[in-house]
Structure formats: structure tokens, C-alpha cells
A = this chain, B = another copy of it.
């Protein structure tokens, strides 16, 4: 039971196996791929030889002649942000169930050079197709540079008719969350906006819509990056403003930061200020007070994306699907103190 062929350290090849098994190379290939039947006796000898040599088919050679990579590329921004991480988890899960691996490339920023680099990286590997997370401008830019000939599916972001896509229907949830706050008696609802693929993400659009529907002024949204520590600063700032009694945050991690800042600034949540988030982060129910939010099934987004890509590879056309978030009412939103 040796792992090498002959005396040298060179890995065994299919012809080593053929030689040892006393059959031809294509016969070995046949038992490898199961593409045709082989006499049980030879089948056995081949399997024995494979085991004895510790033979593994060379993936590159295999792909060069068969044209299937068995891998899909994933283009994404920072993988440690909850929504991205969960989506990737879903992609990996579904891909693996299908015997497919995923090759991840992070787009560091929306700068031309970074985007180009990420796309280059993806295209320089043997891939059957690509899934691009289009939560942010970097994803949008990358998507634009992907060759038309490559099977691609876009996840989230604005509708793009030129490719298969899974949409996140966030607008209605954003509207409902805001309307709920208004119904509670708040005069207006402030919004802390996270980076998004377009000027207004679905959630922000829903927020705006709810305020307009209720005939309220729309306060200028506050912008933040992904780091919750930035949100703490914004929370401290908002603590200074008595007009702020309800805040709709772009996501749960930002909401947690804002709550912290508000509390640092001497305000109580939800007694003085109500705070709601978006996405339903796993820690949202554990927070004190537990966080009211809209649940997004990012893992399902990822899984669905892989399925659409698979359909496309099987010759299907461009498809568009949509996923709806659901409201999760918890303790961080309540009526304003004095109305």
C-alpha cells in the first residue's frame, strides 16, 4: 500500500493504474467515471490498482477534456458581515449537496482596480459559473464586468433583467416596521442607513414610503458603514436630540450599536427611544432589550442562488425569484413616553 508510483515521488497517473491492472487507459477511465460498463473482473483489478497506488485523478486534466469544473465562484464583500456570511453558508450547503465546491473571492471595495482584481481572480480558475452577492456597490460593479458568456446569478440588489437573480423583497418589511412605529404613536422615525447596492436599499425605500404614506416629514437618513462601533457614535449623537424617539436601523448589528450609543447618552431603550433593526441576527433575541426586526433568510437566498445557477447550466433561461422577510416583534419598540 504505497501512495506513489514507482520509486520517485511523482503521483500515480491513470496510465500507471492501467499498467498495473493490465488494462488500457480508457478502461480505467470508464471505471473512474462509470461512463460505460466494464467486465466485473477487470473492474476489480482496476479498483485494486487504484487503491494500491493511492491514485487520484488529476482534476485539471479531467476538466480539460471533460469541460466540467465542479466548482462555482462566489463574489462577495467582507465575508464576516452577518448577511454575507449566512448567504455564503447557504451557497456552500447547496453546492456541496450537489458535489460542487465554491471558490470565494472578496471584492475589497468598489474601486475600479479592486473590482477588476476580484473579477480577474474568479475568471482565472476553472469554474462552471459564478454567484455574485449584490448587496453593495462593489457587487454591482463586479457583476457588470463579468463576461456575458459566463453563467451568472445575482443575489439581492436591484433587479437586473440581463441575468438570473434572487431578489430580497425588503421594501414592504421596511415599510411595515416603520408603520408599526408610527402606529405606536411616534411622530417620525429616523433611519440609519447601511451601505447598499443602490442609493436607496429596499429597506430604506420602505421606510421612506411609510413616512410619506402617513404624511410625515422624512428626516435625512444617517449613513454608516458595517462596523457597529460607528453606530455607537451615531447613537450618542442621536441621544442629544429630543426629537428622536424611534430609530429604524439598516441592520441588527447597527441597531445594537445605536442602542449602546443611546444608552451611553443617557436614554433608555425602549422607554425613551424605540429601536428596530433588520435581518434578525442570531443575537437579536438575546439582546437586552430583545430586538424587534425583520427576519431575512439569507441561507435560503444562497441555496436558491445555487439552484438557479444549476438550472442555467442545464440550459434553462434567466429566472428571477424573490424572498420575503417576515416581521419579528420583540421588546425594543414601544409607544413614546409622552406621545
Interfacial residues, chain A to chain B (CB-CB below 8 A): 3-4, 9, 11, 54, 56-61, 63-64, 69-71, 78-80, 82, 85-86, 88-89, 92-93, 96, 99, 101-106, 108, 117, 121-126, 147-149, 227-229, 232, 253, 256-257, 259-260, 263, 282-283, 285-288
Contact = CB atoms under 8 A, between A and B. Distances in A.
A88 B117 CA distance: 19
B228 A282 contact: yes
A339 to B, nearest CB: 27
A225 to B, nearest CB: 13
A224 B80 CA distance: 23
Contacts of A85: 79-80, 85
Number of copies: 2
Contacts of A82: 80
Contact of A59 (B11, B88, B125): B125
Chain A interface main SS type: mixed
A207 to B, nearest CB: 23
B149 A228 contact: no
Contacts of A229: 285-286
A104 B102 contact: yes
18 contacts: A58-B64, A60-B126, A71-B125, A79-B92, A80-B85, A92-B105, A96-B105, A99-B121, A101-B125, A228-B283, A229-B285, A232-B286, A253-B282, A256-B283, A257-B286, A260-B288, A263-B288, A283-B283
B126 A59 contact: yes
A103 B106 contact: no
A126 B288 CA distance: 48
A287 B121 CA distance: 39
A4 B147 CA distance: 11
Contacts of A283: 228, 253, 256, 283
Query: Quick one: which of A85, A102, A263 has the most chain B CB within 10 A?
Result: A85
Contact of A124 (B9, B70, B105, B260): B70
Given A54-B147, A63-B126, A79-B79, 14 more contacts: A59-B126, A60-B60, A60-B126, A70-B124, A80-B86, A92-B106, A96-B121, A101-B104, A101-B105, A101-B121, A227-B282, A229-B286, A232-B286, A253-B283
Query: Quick one: which of A56, A71, A125, A260 has the most chain B CB within 10 A?
Result: A125
B96 A89 contact: no
Contacts of A9: 149
A1 B214 CA distance: 53
Contacts of A126: 59-60, 63, 126
Contacts of A125: 59, 70-71, 101
Contacts of A232: 286
A242 B80 CA distance: 38
A121 B92 CA distance: 12
The 7 closest A-B pairs by CB, nearest first: A60-B63, A260-B286, A60-B64, A60-B126, A59-B126, A80-B85, A80-B89
